[in-house]
Amino acid sequence: MIDMKPDADLDRVAEIAYGITEKLRDDPTRLYGELVGLWQQHPAKAAQLTMTLAAWFDPDTPLSVLWDRVESISRERAA
């Protein structure tokens, strides 16, 4: 059964979103699987997390800085 209810506790949503940023650096493969499962079983909660991360995004940050961050995280995992 798919859970279509958003999480009423927005503080918990923010904590989970912040946890995603940590897991991305620790174990991106596991995080990927967890996020796929979240989207499949709890799409409303996954949408809340996506919106939270988007709200934290600074659109004034140049894309080159963002790509550098992605490459830095990837390099740490490959090392």
**60 within a domain of the structure (yes/no):** yes
Give residue 78's pLDDT: 62
Instruction: Report the residue count for the chain.
Output: 79
**5 within a domain of the structure (yes/no):** no
Give residue 48's pLDDT: 98
Give residue 54's pLDDT: 94
The whole domain housing 43 covers 10-78
**27 within a domain of the structure (yes/no):** yes
**71 within a domain of the structure (yes/no):** yes
Give residue 74's pLDDT: 83
Structure tokens at 40: 């499949």
**21 within a domain of the structure (yes/no):** yes
How many domains does the chain contain in total? 1
Q: What is the pTM of this model?
A: 0.81
Low-confidence ranges of the chain (pLDDT < 70): 76-79
**63 within a domain of the structure (yes/no):** yes
**4 within a domain of the structure (yes/no):** no
- With beta carbons less than 8 A apart as the criterion, state whether 70 and 31 touch: no
